[in-house]
């Protein structure tokens, strides 16, 4: 590709649940500075792939090599436990890293300084998502992994949210890996796209992904692409 | 006249041990409550009965045996829970009823120690020995040091175990630490409040404090305050009104809980 080095190397990863192959021979590299969007249908193995990369799930075969110091992770759903958890925004963000300065910066970057004394259960979905991103950033990660980061966030906030993530990638040189079922978002925001439906259908540029028949392959039928105003 | 209570050495011992457990019970309790593991305290308390029964039967220290048995059981519970061999609450049910069964057997084998046992079941201030006091001070300090030293780790595994793992925290190790500390808190509490009532001291002040909807540290400190007031006031009341100490303490925690409900504006 170029002189950039892979920060994550996934090699021939297989994950089998019962008699179903959720991940079938997945191999790809994530390069430093990539803004990689993973798309695919429900049950296509997106979250499973993230869990394997994060070391939360051991693949049945294959390997994942991480050449990054730290990985920040923002999970898909904020659990019920977190909804009722008696903790302020500041406490949650500070728990992410050992260094207070990084936590302060993370809260400024995610624009949640004004919320810092609020209890996390009292926040809106979008605000809570930013808190957990700030928490991940407080770790001062080299890679940020987001699983369906905009679920439960209204459309207007979603756009702002992705602008913010793009800024993290461009300005702060953070390598970003995110899962989304929203092809529009992936096509417009990411610099590379991974199409996943148990097997790896494509690893290409967003332009290529939406102009070829990859989408038909992963979703099993023609995908009508409607551009939102960006 | 009001301070008559301090004429007796055993009351001073009871007060000091009471103050120590009042502080550590909710500090451990908050981690259990937010992890939906409130029943653990009750389970470990019942498990400790096995140790007490062995101790009384063999005329050795019931508290030491209780500590040993609860820690071993705590490790067993955590192992079964973390390996997902058995669903969380079922693990507790097995240990709770199983240990009660074993304790009953041992007790029936050694007829005649029912008086002693009553004190352990419901708490008895007069039975607090100097050895109990020394153990309470030592273990109390140890609990505070461990929770203080690993506060961030314990907070993280309570908030979200997966996030903690990704953040490089050894979740299994800290879950085990928490459960062992719970076993210690339970064992220390049983002289004053009794095996059957320990759960309430570990859980009720925490739930009361949560009604104020504050941050984690604030909630913890508030829970310690509630628990401290309950235990100290409970010991005073039980002494002057000649009531059972454990029951009196639990009653005060309940009054504080009902009052705190008015502060929840949600």
Return d(Cα B175, Cα B170) in angstroms, integer.
Answer: 9
Instruction: Show residues of chain B in contact with A55, CB under 8 Å.
Output: 165-166
Q: For residue A119, give the DSSP letter.
A: B
A113-157 pLDDT tens trace: 999 999 998 888 778 888 888 998 888 888 999 988 776 666 777
A220 to chain B, minimum CA–CA distance in Å? Answer: 33
Predicted ipTM? 0.84
In a 10 Å sphere around its CB, with 0-12 CB exposed, 13-18 middle and 19+ buried, how is residue B262 labelled?
Answer: exposed
CA distance A223 to chain B (A): 35
Smallest CA-to-CA distance from B70 within B95, B34, B107 is with B95
Cβ pair B215:A54 closer than 8 A: no
Shortest Cα–Cα distance, B6 to chain A (Å): 38
Could you tell me which residues come within 8 angstroms of residue B97 by beta carbon, excluding any fewer than 6 positions away? none
Residues of A in contact with B210 (CB under 8 A): 86
Nearest CA in chain B to A89: B215
A141 at interface of B, judged by CB pairs closer than 8 A:
no
The rounded distance, in Å, linking the Cα atoms of B105 and B54 is 11
How confident is the model at residue A228, as a pLDDT? 55
The 3-state DSSP class for residue B190 equals helix
A181 vs A80, higher pLDDT: A181
Cβ partners under 8 Å of residue B224, min gap 6: B22, B23, B26, B27, B205
In the structure encoding, which two tokens stand for residue B197, read together?
A: 């009532």
| A16-33 per-position pLDDT tens digit | 988 888 999 999 999 888
B158: phi then psi, degrees, rounded to nearest 5? -80, -35
> What is the rounded average pLDDT for all residues in chain A?
83
Q: Residue A212: what pLDDT?
A: 65
Across the range A203-216, mean pLDDT stands at: 73
| The pLDDT value given to residue B71 | 94
Per-residue model confidence as pLDDT tens digits over A60-96: 999 999 888 788 898 876 666 677 789 999 999 998 8
Six token digits for residue A14: 């297989």
Tokens 């957990």 appear where? A132
Q: Residue A55: which of A77, A82, A73 has the closest Cα?
A: A73
Per-residue pLDDT at A209 = 72
Kindly state the average pLDDT of the residues A39-50.
88
Q: Lowest mean pLDDT: which of A157-171, A190-204, B12-26?
A: A157-171
Which residue among A56, A82, A98 sits closest to B159, beta carbon to beta carbon? Answer: A82
Cα(A106)–Cα(A114) distance, integer angstroms: 13
Q: What is the pLDDT of residue A9?
A: 93
Cβ <8 Å between A81 and B160: yes
Q: Can you give the pLDDT of all 266 residues of chain B as single tens digits?
A: 667 778 888 888 989 999 999 999 999 999 999 988 888 888 999 999 999 888 888 888 888 899 999 999 999 998 888 887 777 788 899 999 999 999 888 888 877 566 567 778 878 878 788 888 998 999 999 999 999 999 999 999 998 888 888 888 899 999 999 999 999 998 888 878 888 888 889 999 999 999 999 999 999 999 999 999 999 999 999 988 988 888 899 999 999 999 999 988 66
Give, in order, the Cα–Cα distances in Å from B63 to each of A81, A159, B9, B179, B191.
Answer: 35, 61, 20, 18, 9
- Using beta carbons and an 8 Å cutoff, which residues of B are at the interface with A? 30, 34-36, 152, 155-156, 158-160, 162-163, 165-168, 209-210, 213-217, 219
Order of all β-strands in the sheet with A20-31: A20-31, A6-17, A61-66
Closest to B166 in 3D by CA, of A120, A97, A40, A176: A97
Question: What is d(CA B20, CA A81) in angstroms, rounded to the nearest whole number?
Answer: 29
Residues B157 and B171 sit within 8 Å (Cβ to Cβ) = yes
């Amino acid at each position: 590709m170029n002189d950039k080095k892979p920060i994550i190397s996934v090699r021939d990863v297989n994950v089998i649940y019962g008699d179903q192959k959720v991940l079938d021979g997945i191999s790809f590299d994530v390069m430093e500075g990539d803004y990689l969007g993973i798309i695919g249908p429900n049950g296509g193995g997106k979250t499973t792939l993230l869990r394997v990369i994060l070391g939360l799930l051991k693949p049945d075969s294959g390997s994942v090599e991480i050449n990054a110091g730290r990985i920040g992770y923002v999970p898909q759903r904020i659990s019920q436990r977190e909804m009722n958890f008696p903790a302020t925004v500041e406490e949650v963000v500070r728990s992410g890293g050992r260094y207070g300065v990084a936590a302060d910066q993370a809260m400024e970057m995610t624009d949640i300084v004004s919320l810092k004394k609020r209890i996390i259960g009292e926040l809106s979905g979008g605000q809570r998502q930013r808190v957990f991103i700030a928490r991940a950033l407080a770790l001062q990660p080299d890679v940020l992994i987001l699983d369906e980061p905009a679920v439960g966030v209204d459309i207007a906030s979603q756009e702002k949210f992705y602008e913010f993530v793009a800024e993290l990638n461009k300005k702060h040189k953070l390598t970003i890996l995110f899962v989304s079922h929203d092809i529009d978002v992936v096509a417009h925001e990411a610099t590379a796209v991974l199409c996943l439906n148990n097997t790896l259908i494509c690893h290409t540029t967003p332009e290529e992904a939406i102009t070829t028949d990859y989408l038909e392959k992963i979703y099993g039928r023609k995908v009508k692409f409607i551009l939102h105003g960006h | 006249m009001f301070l008559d209570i301090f004429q007796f050495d055993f009351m001073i011992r009871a007060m000091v041990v009471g103050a120590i457990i009042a502080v550590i019970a909710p500090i451990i309790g908050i981690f259990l409550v937010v992890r939906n593991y409130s029943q653990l305290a009750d389970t470990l308390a019942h498990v400790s009965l096995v140790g007490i029964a062995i101790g009384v039967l063999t005329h050795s220290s019931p508290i030491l045996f209780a500590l040993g048995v609860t820690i071993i059981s705590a490790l067993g519970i955590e192992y079964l829970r973390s390996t997902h061999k058995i669903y969380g609450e079922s693990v507790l049910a097995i240990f709770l009823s199983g240990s009660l069964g074993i304790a009953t057997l041992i007790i029936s084998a050694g007829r005649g120690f029912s008086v002693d046992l009553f004190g352990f079941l419901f708490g008895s201030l007069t039975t607090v020995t100097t050895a109990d006091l020394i153990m309470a001070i030592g273990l109390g300090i140890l609990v505070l040091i461990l929770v203080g030293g690993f506060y961030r780790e314990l907070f993280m595994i309570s908030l979200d175990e997966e996030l903690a793992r990704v953040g490089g925290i050894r979740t299994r190790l800290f879950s085990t630490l928490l459960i062992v500390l719970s076993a210690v808190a339970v064992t220390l509490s049983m002289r004053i409040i009794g095996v059957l009532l320990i759960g309430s001291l570990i859980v009720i002040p925490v739930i009361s404090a949560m009604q104020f909807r504050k941050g984690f540290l604030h909630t913890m400190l508030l829970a310690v305050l509630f628990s401290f007031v309950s235990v100290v006031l409970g010991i005073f009341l039980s002494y002057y009104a000649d009531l059972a100490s454990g029951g009196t303490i639990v009653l005060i925690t309940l009054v504080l809980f009902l009052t705190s409900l008015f502060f929840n504006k949600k």
